[in-house]
A and B are shown apart, each in its own frame.
Chain A
Amino acid sequence: MLTPSGLLSVAPFERKNLEKFLRSISSGGGTKSSSKSSQGLSQKLGVLGFFEPSTRTKLSFEAAGRQLGISWLDLRPEDLSLQKGESLEDTFKNIALYGVNFFVIRHSASYFPHWVHRWTQLPVLNAGDGTNEHPTQALGDALTLYQLAKGKKLEICFLGDACRSRVAKSSIRVLKNLGHRISIVDESRGENRAFAKAFEISLAPRKKLSSFDIVYCLRLQKERWAQAAEEPLSLSELGKTSKLMDAGPVIWGETMQREIQNLAPERNLILKQAENAFLVRLALLQELQK
């Protein structure tokens, strides 16, 4: 899955490679037990550069790396000398001199990971950049549906603020690529209409949510000027069969009503997504070690 630049975007993926990658993880190729550092893989040094709050993405990268014997440098925003007037380029070029093999980067600015690669020429794993992409989350989502669908093509409907969501952009690109049929709920401001056109997906009225195999709930991007425009998702809207996805963190009462906590576990895929995102990161780090 990786290129010399690492993993910056899901856009260049070929379907064949994508399926091979998901198949390999599903069959245990990238699981915890088979990926010990004791297998003689070379010791690597990675930098975790998370410039936005993150719990699950950061810790899952860190935990996966530890399983593989990767050493981490933790680069926190408050460590930077930018306040002293240093340029970002100088900062990253300096860090690259310390025997670093790759970066994992999250930043509120779109394309920040692309610039880190340009400055350092080292592989960069994009752990979420602004309103642009979140490739490892998308691969985790794809793995979740790969395991669930067993070759079937699913009807998936996204609900929420898609224009500002990097999860929506990466996941929709990957899931479309895998042949699933994607829709998005039309909302009152009309932004999702532009989104549907931009990604050539269907628009769905909210009252039809229960007819979809999967309802994918998107977090409200408050830090990106988003304002709550819609009611939180209710249990009844999921009908009797629809399954639920959300990249998290779930803000109960905001995008989903609390009653959804009572959804039958086999219909709630949220934890499975988190687990699979971890497996994807493990597999990618393993690939980096080769």
Chain B
Amino acid sequence: MIIHSRNVWNEIKAKFEPGFLTISKDRIESIEFGDPSRSKNLSKVVDYGRFHIFASAIDLHVHSRDFKESHKQRFEELDAQAHRGGVSTMACMANTQPRMDSVQYLKEFFKRAQKLQAKLIPFATVTKNLDGELPTDWEALLKLPIAGLSDDGKPVMNEKIFRGALLATKKAKKLFSLHEEDLSISRSSQLQFSESSIRLGIEGSSDESEASMVERDIRIAGELKASVHFGHLSSRRSVEILRAARKNKIAFSAELTPHHGLLSVENAETLKPTDLSLMKVCPVIREDADRRALLLGLSQGVIDCLASDHAPHSNFDKNLPYSLAAHGMISMENYLPLYNELRLQGKISWGVFLKALSGRPAELLGLKNEGTLLKGSIASIAVFDPDSLQSLKWTRSQAQNTPFQNRKVHGRVIAHYLKGKKVFDEG
């Protein structure tokens, strides 16, 4: 199969050019740029006109649910959402029910995930049942084909455990993904303390909860010469701390979610009181100045990964007054449109954007032939229209916990190929 468009991403030149992709089975057999007339079998070419073609997204931060939470999301639903969202691979957090804290549970995960078209790679927990105190069997767990260790949903407050897990993941060359939140400061993590939180009557908390943990962990990472991965960053202070760390050549990677890049507490005041709960996430949504600092951090490479923190909830957990509602929102089904809107708002270059969307996450997961369109790589390809406006809808998930419902954004997925096979076609 040959795919053509006037806008195929040329990684070498870091720009979109007219080009042809030849796909054979699950691989990209060749990629050629230049004049369409040079192609010999034009009649057999699938022509995507002006639409943009680039490697599918790789999401480092997904809550897969299923198991005892199949009423929130089943693996098959997540798979279907990723097809429409333009995502090929998802690193899944370990706070499932049961927790991914043993070899036995992870094997069950692999077995179920095998049946899907998108790839799910689980994390294992750092501590038993995410209790923060009793370490899991890191050596045994890290021998499995997992993304790495993470207690996401909870921080690793215990410094001794943090150091141990950091050395274990360094040795295994896997990710150590961090949820940075000092629980003694964040209290129940509601909103950033601000004029908006006061007017809204919602208990505000300080950004110190994230900053103090980022500060501790980047210091220890520098000391042990081991890389850490910061999940869902939310504050300008964290960006400042990590900007300094980049200058000092301390190795780390960091994520930006669509919601921290697109929402601020000021937006909350425009919502109906009973829709406010949809904006409740952890870490909390902060001020517009934080949002802008995060976008700037992405454009400058301080933050180097896009990752959704896609977190489905049932109405039972989410349709409640703000302080009682569960943290988290869904995004997977509209992954590319949401991030494209973020790209436009942050004036992020395509080069930086696509590297953070798939190139860097592939590197971090050790996926050598993914997140790229180079010859010989896996043919997971998104065909995307970045210009047209659409009103976002979630049609492939039981969960509907998103404040982005009906939001008008630029961008829509036209088609999506996973391992050479078309899994979504807008037509």
Judge whether A131 and B194 touch: CB under 8 Å. Answer: no
Is B321 part of the contact surface with A, judged by Cβ < 8 Å?
yes
Q: In the assembled complex, how far is the CB of residue B273 from the closest CB belonging to chain A, in whole angstroms? A: 4
Which of these binds chain A: B62-70, B95-103, B197-205?
Answer: B197-205
Question: How far, in Å, is A108 (CB) from chain B's closest CB?
Answer: 8
Q: Do residues A195 and B324 form an inter-chain contact, with CB atoms below 8 A? A: no
A198 touches B320 (CB 8 A): no
The proximity string for A residues 265-277 relative to B, scoring 1 for CB distances below 8 Å and 0 otherwise, is 0000000000000
Chain B residues with Cβ under 8 A from A198's Cβ? 195-196, 198-199
CB distance from B196 to the nearest CB of A (A): 8
**Residue of B200, B274, B316 touching A132 (CB-CB under 8 A):** B200
Shortest beta-carbon distance, B106 to chain A, in Å?
29
Interface size on B, residues (CB 8 A): 23
Structural contact, B321 and A110, CB atoms closer than 8 A? yes
Q: Is A219 an interface residue (CB 8 A)?
A: no
What 0/1 readout, one digit per residue, does chain A (215-229) give for beta carbons within 8 Å of chain B?
000000000110000
Cβ A131 vs Cβ B202 within 8 A: yes
Query: Which of A130, A133, A163, A199 touches B323 (beta carbons < 8 Å)?
Result: A130
For B195, list chain A residues within 8 Å (CB).
Answer: 194, 197-198
| A115 in contact with B274 given A109-B322, A110-B322, A194-B194 (CB within 8 Å) | yes
- Could you tell me the distance between the alpha carbons of A166 and B204 in the complex, rounded to whole angstroms? 14
Residue of B nearest to A112 (CB): B321
Interface string of A69-84 (1 = CB under 8 A from B): 0000000000000000
> Cα distance A107–B323 when bound, in Å?
11
A194-B193, A197-B195, A198-B195 known; A129-B201 Cβ under 8 A: yes
Against A, the Cβ 8 Å flags (1 = close, 0 = not) of B280-323 are: 00000000000000000000000000000000000110011111
Task: State how many angstroms separate the Cβ of A186 from the closest Cβ of chain B.
Answer: 15
* B342 CB–A CB distance under 8 Å: no
Asked whether A110 and B198 contact (CB < 8 A) given A115-B274, A130-B323, the answer is no
The answer to whether B198 and A194 touch across the interface, beta carbons within 8 angstroms, is yes
Return chain A residues, CB-CB under 8 Å to B276: 111
Is B187's CB under 8 angstroms from A225's CB? Answer: yes
List the B side residues contacting A131 at CB < 8 Å. Answer: 201-203
Residues of A within 8 A of B324 (CB): 88, 109
Q: B201 contacts which chain A residues (CB < 8 A)?
A: 110-111, 129-133, 166, 169
- Dominant SS among interface residues on chain B: helix
Known A132-B200, A199-B199, A224-B203; contact A111-B322, beta-carbon cutoff 8 A: yes
Asked whether, in the complex, the Cβ of A164 is within 8 Å of the Cβ of B203, the reply is yes
How many Å from the CB of A223 to the closest CB on chain B? 11
Q: A194-B198, A197-B195 are contacts. A118–B322 as well, Cβ < 8 Å?
A: no
Give every chain B residue within 8 A of A87 (Cβ-Cβ): 316
Determine the chain B residues whose CB is within 8 A of the CB of A166 once the complex forms.
Answer: 201
CA distance A108 to B204 in the complex (A): 15
How many whole Å from A33's CB to the nearest CB in chain B? 37
Closest residue of B by beta carbon distance from A11: B199
Residue in A194, A195, A197, A224 whose Cβ sees the most chain B Cβ within 10 Å: A194
When distances are taken between beta carbons in the complex, the residues of chain B under 8 Å from A9 are 273
Question: Which of the listed residues B187, B204, B322 has the most CB atoms from chain A within 10 Å of its own CB?
Answer: B322
A225 (CB) vs chain B CBs: closest residue: B187
In A110-143, the 8 Å CB interface with B consists of 110-112, 114-115, 118, 129-133
Report A-chain residues with C-beta under 8 Å of the C-beta of B323.
Answer: 108-110, 130
User: A88-109: contact bitstring with B at CB < 8 Å (1 yes, 0 no)?
Assistant: 1100000000000000000111
> A115 — which chain B residues lie within 8 A by C-beta?
274, 319-321
9 A-B residue contacts at CB 8 Å? A110-B201, A111-B273, A111-B276, A111-B322, A130-B321, A132-B202, A133-B201, A166-B201, A194-B194
Closest CB pairs A-B (n = 4): A132-B201, A198-B195, A109-B321, A198-B198
A89-B319, A169-B201 are known contacts; what are 18 more A-B pairs with Cβ within 8 Å?
A9-B273, A88-B324, A109-B320, A110-B321, A111-B201, A111-B276, A112-B321, A114-B321, A118-B274, A129-B321, A130-B201, A130-B323, A166-B201, A169-B199, A194-B194, A194-B195, A195-B198, A198-B195
Residue positions of A touching B, CB distance < 8 A = 8-9, 87-89, 107-112, 114-115, 118, 129-133, 163-164, 166, 169, 194-195, 197-199, 224-225
